[in-house]
């Protein structure tokens, strides 16, 4: 990838080196260092890119956490836009500058030089804020080196990415390292495994004493939330659903307040204009009631499923191939705990046998009398919808707003939302 600053060409790819280029060395490409040396090229460490790109005009907000990164990042972005700021957003759903999508779905956090390329684009478009998701991989691989964060946010830590980090302890340590310095930070103190440097820290909570503390909430067709900050009460309503989204919204409100110093009442009003994030607790249909969500961990599924205590839940899900296989039976166990019907299907099998993945999930379900196994995801959605009545909700979990399904090394067009709407349209046409 290339970055051009004041006619100087920086690249992290030795194949792109040309006369007077500067090779950007990182943890990911250090094995190619000798090629750059032998070619006589200047070399700098990726963290030193900050010395070449003036980022003083833009505030970087970074969000990490197992669950809630995308919703929190997107909500911060939307609130800031609503308040009249120019904003860039970088994350799982792509790269956005103001209202425009510049790049499609990508790594949650790009390689180092990719971050600087996107920040440069944001600055060129007069953005005042750069909101970015920060993955555990990015922290571990030093992809965020050289970035000065106006605010760091940590949503929560639960089991995920153990195919990469190997142990939950390592994963927790990596996530917590994001908060170990003295930079301004915002922390969910209801998360018991989260550790942070208390200097310059703000906290939010639904259960414990904190800077931004929820004191009352009602959850019916919409959610109403009341919280206190410095002994003054504030409130907001939202059409977003689930206790976990109260956490996400509290993080978003607090983040905008900390970085802009705008009135909290004004920020709360802006929240009410925001509907939901695509593929995150997204209502695809009211009748039948169908929701699509990205939940792909046992804890993420638990948070979604327990949000509907008065509904008969029909849960459709699978698990990603070539990822942490130990979480699969745990996902099955969570689905069994809350669901009237379970439809186990394929997610992104990648190079694994979909049948083996499904077997792993079923190992966590003791009584399988209410379980349907359907490897074909489109057929699984049809079967789930056929079970609906006025009391039910279909929760389609795992892929969110992904537009493809990954089988082997190929990507096939597949969107849960699009497929659901196709099925409903056929039913409507028949009737």
Claim to verify: residue 28 and residue 101 sit in the same structural domain:
no
Does 218 appear as a known binding residue?
Answer: no
Residue 423, in any domain of the structure: yes
- Per-residue model confidence (pLDDT) at position 403: 94
pLDDT of residue 359: 98
Establish whether 109 is an annotated binding residue: yes
DSSP state, residue 294: -
Shortest CA distance to 154 belongs to which of 62, 79, 276? 62
- Do the annotations mark residue 400 as ligand-binding? no
Q: Is the peptide bond before 288 cis (omega within 30 degrees of 0)?
A: yes
Q: Tell me the pLDDT band of 193, cut-offs 50, 70 and 90.
A: confident
Q: Is 423's pLDDT higher than 60?
A: yes
- Residue 86 in any domain: the answer is yes
- Is 167 known as a binding-site position? no
Q: How many domains in the chain?
A: 3
pLDDT of residue 161: 45
249 and 154 share a domain? Answer: yes
156 with 252, same domain?
yes
What is the signed CA dihedral for 284, 287, 290, 291, rounded to 10 degrees? 50
Q: Are residues 380 and 418 in the same domain?
A: yes
Q: Is 348 annotated as contributing to ligand binding?
A: yes
184 annotated as ligand-binding: no
In this structure, the answer to whether residues 296 and 373 fall within a common structural domain is: yes
pLDDT at position 165 over 50: no
For 418, list phi and psi in degrees, rounded to 5: -60, -45
pLDDT score of 139? 87
Q: Is pLDDT of 162 > 80?
A: no
pLDDT of the residue at 288: 97
377 is in an annotated binding site: no
Q: What pLDDT is stored for residue 277 in this prediction? A: 87
pLDDT of residue 107: 61
Q: What is the CATH number of the domain that holds 176?
A: 3.40.1190.10
Residue of higher predicted confidence among 192 and 55: 55
pLDDT beyond 90 at 336: yes
φ, ψ (nearest 5 deg) of residue 167: -130, 150
The C-alpha atoms of residue 299 and residue 321 are separated, in whole angstroms, by 19
- pLDDT grade for 42, boundaries at 50, 70 and 90: very high
Beta bridge partners of 88: 97, 130
276 in a structural domain: no
pLDDT at 32: 93
pLDDT given at position 170: 83
The verdict on residue 277 lying in a domain is no
Domain ranges, residue 77 = 53-271
| pLDDT, mean over the chain | 93
Q: Residue 279 above 80 pLDDT?
A: yes
Known binding residue 59? Answer is no
Least confident segment among 85-89, 176-180, 366-370? 176-180
- What pLDDT sits at residue 404? 95
Same-domain pairing of 258 and 287: no
231 plus 103 within the same structural domain: yes
The separation between the first and the last C-alpha atoms of the chain, rounded to the nearest angstrom, is: 53
User: Residues 131-161: pLDDT tens digits?
Assistant: 999 988 888 888 898 999 999 999 988 754 4
pLDDT bin (cut points 50, 70, 90) of residue 108 is: low
Predicted confidence (pLDDT) at residue 70 exceeds the cutoff of 60? yes
Q: Please check if 14 is assigned to a binding site.
A: yes
92 is in an annotated binding site: no
Residues 194 and 315 in one domain: no
DSSP conformation letters of 118-170:
HHHHHHHTT-SEEEEE--HHHHHTTTTTTPPEEEEEE----S--HHHH-SHHH
CB of 421 closer than 8 Å to CB of 284: yes
68 appears as a binding residue in the annotation: yes
- Which tokens belong to 430? 């028949």
pTM of the model: 0.84
Specify the pLDDT at position 136.
84
Residue 218 lies in a domain: yes
Judgement on whether residues 227 and 305 belong to the same structural domain of the protein: no
| Same domain as 165, residue 124 | yes
Q: Is 135 annotated as a binding residue?
A: yes
Q: Is 69 annotated as a binding residue?
A: yes
Tens digits of per-residue pLDDT, 347-380? 999 999 999 999 999 999 999 999 999 999 999 9
Tell me, what's the pLDDT at 66?
84
Asked if the structure places residue 385 within a domain, the reply is: yes
- pLDDT on residue 109: 65
Taking the CB of residue 158, how many other CB atoms lie within 10 A of it?
19
14 and 114 together in one domain: no
Q: List 60's β-bridge partners, or say none.
A: 130, 149
- Average pLDDT of 9-35? 91
- Residue 118: pLDDT band with limits 50, 70, 90: very high
The answer on 211 and 63 residing in a single domain is: yes
- Alpha-carbon distance of 244 to 225, in angstroms, equals 13
Q: Is 323 annotated as a binding residue?
A: yes
Q: Does pLDDT of 254 surpass 70?
A: yes
Residue 349 marked in a binding site:
yes
391 part of a folded domain: yes
Is 359 annotated to bind ligand?
no
Residue 164 has pLDDT above 70, yes or no: no
Q: Does 174 have pLDDT greater than 70?
A: yes
């Amino acid at each position: 990838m290339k970055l051009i600053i004041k006619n100087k060409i920086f690249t992290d790819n030795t194949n792109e080196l040309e006369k007077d280029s500067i090779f950007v060395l990182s943890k990911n490409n250090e094995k190619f260092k000798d090629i750059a040396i032998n070619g006589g090229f200047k070399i700098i460490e990726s963290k030193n890119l900050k010395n070449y790109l003036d980022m003083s005009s833009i505030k970087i907000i970074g969000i990490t956490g197992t669950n809630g990164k995308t919703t929190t990042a997107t909500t911060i972005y939307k609130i800031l836009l609503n308040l009249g700021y120019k904003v860039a957003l970088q994350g799982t759903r792509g790269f956005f500058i103001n209202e425009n999508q510049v790049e499609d779905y990508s790594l949650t956090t790009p390689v180092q030089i990719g971050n600087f390329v996107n920040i440069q684009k944001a600055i060129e478009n007069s953005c005042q804020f750069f909101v970015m998701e920060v993955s555990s991989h990015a922290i571990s691989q030093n992809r965020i080196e050289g970035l000065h964060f106006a605010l760091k946010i940590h949503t929560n830590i639960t089991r995920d990415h153990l195919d990469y980090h190997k142990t939950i302890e390592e994963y927790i340590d990596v996530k917590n390292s994001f908060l170990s310095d003295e930079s301004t930070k915002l922390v969910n103190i209801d998360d018991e495994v989260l550790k942070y440097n208390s200097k310059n820290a703000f906290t939010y909570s639904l259960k414990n004493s904190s800077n931004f503390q929820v004191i009352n909430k009602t959850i019916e067709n919409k959610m109403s939330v009341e919280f206190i900050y410095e002994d003054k009460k504030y409130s907001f309503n939202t059409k977003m659903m689930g206790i976990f989204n109260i956490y996400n919204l509290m993080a978003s409100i607090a983040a905008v307040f900390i970085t802009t110093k705008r009135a909290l009442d004004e920020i709360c009003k802006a929240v009410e204009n925001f509907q939901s994030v695509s593929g995150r607790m997204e209502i695809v249909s009211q009748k039948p009631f169908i929701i699509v969500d990205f939940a792909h961990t046992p804890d993420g599924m638990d948070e979604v499923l327990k949000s509907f205590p008065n509904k008969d839940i029909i849960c459709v899900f699978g698990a990603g191939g070539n990822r942490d296989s130990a979480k699969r039976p745990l996902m099955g166990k969570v689905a069994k705990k809350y669901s009237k019907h379970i439809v186990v299907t394929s997610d992104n099998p990648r190079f694994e046998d979909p049948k083996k993945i499904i077997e792993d999930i079923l190992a966590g379900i003791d009584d399988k009398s209410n379980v349907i196994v359907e490897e074909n995801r489109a057929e699984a959605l049809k079967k789930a919808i056929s079970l609906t009545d006025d009391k039910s909700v279909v929760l389609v979990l795992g892929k969110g707003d992904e537009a493809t399904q990954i089988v082997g090394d190929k990507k096939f067009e597949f969107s849960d939302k699009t497929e659901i709407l196709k099925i409903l349209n056929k039913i409507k046409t028949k009737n």
